[in-house]
Structure 1
């Protein structure tokens, strides 16, 4: 009976572990009817963009897969392409959704010309026999801009990984894989052949799988085996659509900024629209592969406040953990290196044998190992002075330590650190005994407030407003 309850609890745990997986509980059990195509996260942004003063007539001859990449499989590849071959149609739909462009048929121009020839010949015959006043066929629209480019790369398995465990026949595993596509889009002037603007967009494609299984003999010659799981693959077509829509949106904004075309509406709204794109572009410029954000996250200075515990290692036994508080500042020489100065208040105790309140001043050099990451370890070392509350005794010391910091934002970080303080005297606990000098350890949790970066952001916004006002004065 006890084993049965144990087994039921294990199975229940497996089921509950899957309750957060929406895909697992949304399994298709019936045939689904045709539905309208899904919208991406960029579609609404494209549709809500400011409208143009006058839509631009553009021609798209071809915008296809230029990679030649075949769909990867576990045993090699198949003859099915990894990327859709209908990217031209996707681009034309994105141009229509933006309301900035009037796309004209150029992909199958021969079909259009053949059909117009049929219309001409039919009207010619009709004009001879029935209606001599039959109007001529109107001329075709011509494009002022041609959009070129394509899907230039498909990189499969840029990141793969997983996690699994098994214990007494109970196990679970998860795996993931990430691919990436890259899209280039350029606008070419038909009057001069000049390339007006080129934009570049990349999009990752995520595949995930989760499985859980149970394999165990529950009784003599009775085996219980169960298995469940699911796999979810991001559709490559939706990834291509999102990348193309993002490229069209980028082309519109950069064209407005370079005065290739004009947007109508409130000037402040247009400036905000352009500023948001600039902020996104700045973030993208500092983001490397695997979504690693390489940008100075911290300001040039910081104020630090810490609390924790202190532990003496001197001539007495039975050291007790006591309190410590610390307040200080940091000054960055570069993203990796800073100087910090702090004042510290603490108690050191060996029970009834020794208890004393101490004050310390610490000057240290700190090395941040991963300054561009949100989560980073750091090392520090330096020198200082420690004295009792009456300042009757002042001793020189060295300190070194290590810690970990996590940035909640560009201005606030939390840290945990440990410090080893080497006092250059054996008089810290008021007893001189043996050859070793006294020491003490501190363990702290603190908050860092960084500043000086906010002023840069404000200056950047003021610069944009100043340039906009100058442009408006020129227009007037």
Structure 2
């Protein structure tokens, strides 16, 4: 009993250490002092742009939240907006930090004009009191060559959710996550012609995580041990919005350089790493989905031929089942990028230790559904129907197969696959013994190779 108690306590300590150390060591136990705000992941790329030949005078009247989205909540209603309403301030700072723009005040233009009126009237009143000549004129306002428009146009909550957990004899834990997405559009407009010079859009995900672990266990008679711990992490939405806006400014600046809208101080810096990295990103971006995964990265041929080796595990009327060698060959026709159909033939052995052993041949017609056909790694579901026959009997019995597996593509031609299957025989005489009211069945697992030939599928 003491050993069990020690093991439980040790398990609790281990669980606490791996799941909760970081939050416990960083608990807000006292008020913190004001500090400079943390920078986003785009700040370094934004501030490392090459120097401009001449800064662009840019005006921003309003960079608004156009989503109309309120903060998602699991209980009740929330009247708090999902994203910050200070997009203009974030954009103006990003423009300043880039080193490419001279920003002028336009959001609070009425306040600026009123203040200039106050200055002129004060100077005029002072001039009348002193009886002298005082210049009441103010320097003219700086005008913009480019107006920047756009806004935060989308906030999509719960674009991806998931989690996992396990509990065994009162000890367990779970983890959950949620991913949101914010999207920003930014365009540059020429003030002399009104022409839209360039439009860019960027997106950024917002991650939320929850992890908890607990123990609920009777360690002895009338002795109950209960403990729990955990933490939740919610990424600030403002940081995600700021990084998306900084990415938009970064993209707009480089697009303007590439199209000759504004020039570099040193033209040879067109090959600077920060520009070349953006060019590579822009080239592959059309083939990425909203989760950042590459689309059409791999395209399978119309015909796939291959084979596999594996094992059978008998589950019939004889006891003590054994794992025995099996093999198969197959041909598949791609009906679409997701769905294929084909035929397969194979041979394997079913055995129960000391009682039963028999070689079998089988043939199947199958369908395979792939979940991510254009990705290197794709899980799949296999449904098959056919017949199986014992080598000694030459009697064919119908069967159905359900399987789960995955394929890893080395390139567009060669793929490595693995899977597990459940074989249900519509008879209780597979092992030549009809006993009980259930039909015979068995399991299999295999690893194989596929060679894709012919025209590619999309």
**TM over 0.5: same fold?**
yes
For residues 417 and 141 of structure 1, the distance between their equivalents in structure 2, rounded to whole angstroms, comes to 71
Superposed counterparts of 1:384-395, under 5 Å: none
Unaligned runs of 5+ in 2: 426-441
Q: Tell whether 2:192 aligns with 1:194.
A: no
Q: Which residue of 2 aligns with 1:44?
A: 44
For residues 164 and 321 of structure 2, the distance between their equivalents in structure 1, rounded to whole angstroms, comes to 43
For residues 356 and 203 of structure 1, the distance between their equivalents in structure 2, rounded to whole angstroms, comes to 57
* TM-aligned CA distance change 1:364 to 1:293, over 3 Å: farther
For residues 214 and 347 of structure 1, the distance between their equivalents in structure 2, rounded to whole angstroms, comes to 45
Q: TM-score, normalised by structure 2?
A: 0.69
Task: Tell me if the contact between 2:12 and 2:215 (Cα under 8 Å) persists in the aligned partners.
Answer: no
Deviations for 1:392-433, whole angstroms, at most 9, x for unmatched residues? xxxx9x99866544355673543226598x9xxxxxxxxxxx
Partner SS, residue 113 of structure 2? helix
Task: Tell me if the contact between 1:399 and 1:419 (Cα under 8 Å) persists in the aligned partners.
Answer: no
Which is further off, 273-282 or 296-305? 296-305
Which is further off, 260-269 or 108-117? 260-269
Task: Tell me if the contact between 2:418 and 2:445 (Cα under 8 Å) persists in the aligned partners.
Answer: no
For residues 103 and 35 of structure 1, the distance between their equivalents in structure 2, rounded to whole angstroms, comes to 25
Q: Which residue of 1 aligns with 2:153?
A: 152
Q: Which residue of 2 aligns with 1:274?
A: 279
For residues 364 and 323 of structure 1, the distance between their equivalents in structure 2, rounded to whole angstroms, comes to 22
For residues 380 and 181 of structure 1, the distance between their equivalents in structure 2, rounded to whole angstroms, comes to 40
Superposed counterparts of 1:19-418, under 5 Å: 19-21=17-19, 22-120=22-120, 137-157=138-158, 170=171, 172-215=173-216, 224-256=225-257, 258-262=259-263, 264=267, 265-267=269-271, 270=275, 273-283=278-288, 286-287=289-290, 291=291, 293=293, 295-301=295-301, 304=306, 306-309=308-311, 323=325, 332=334, 334-337=336-339, 367-372=368-373, 374-379=377-382, 403-408=403-408, 411=411, 412-416=415-419
* TM-aligned CA distance change 1:277 to 1:375, over 3 Å: same
Higher relative contact order (CA 8 A, sep 6+): 2
* TM-aligned CA distance change 1:404 to 1:309, over 3 Å: same
Unaligned runs of 5+ in 1: 389-395, 423-439, 455-476
Deviations for 1:192-240, whole angstroms, at most 9, x for unmatched residues? 3333333333333232222333445656766544332222211121121
* TM-aligned CA distance change 1:271 to 1:83, over 3 Å: closer
Task: Tell me if the contact between 1:296 and 1:335 (Cα under 8 Å) persists in the aligned partners.
Answer: no
Partner SS, residue 39 of structure 2? coil
Q: TM-score, normalised by structure 1?
A: 0.67
How far is the alpha carbon of 1:90 from its aligned partner? 0.8
For residues 24 and 453 of structure 2, the distance between their equivalents in structure 1, rounded to whole angstroms, comes to 46
For residues 245 and 34 of structure 2, the distance between their equivalents in structure 1, rounded to whole angstroms, comes to 24
Task: Tell me if the contact between 1:65 and 1:87 (Cα under 8 Å) persists in the aligned partners.
Answer: yes
* TM-aligned CA distance change 1:334 to 1:262, over 3 Å: farther
Q: Which residue of 2 aligns with 1:446?
A: 448
Q: Which residue of 2 aligns with 1:432?
A: none
Q: Which residue of 2 aligns with 1:393?
A: none
For residues 75 and 334 of structure 2, the distance between their equivalents in structure 1, rounded to whole angstroms, comes to 52
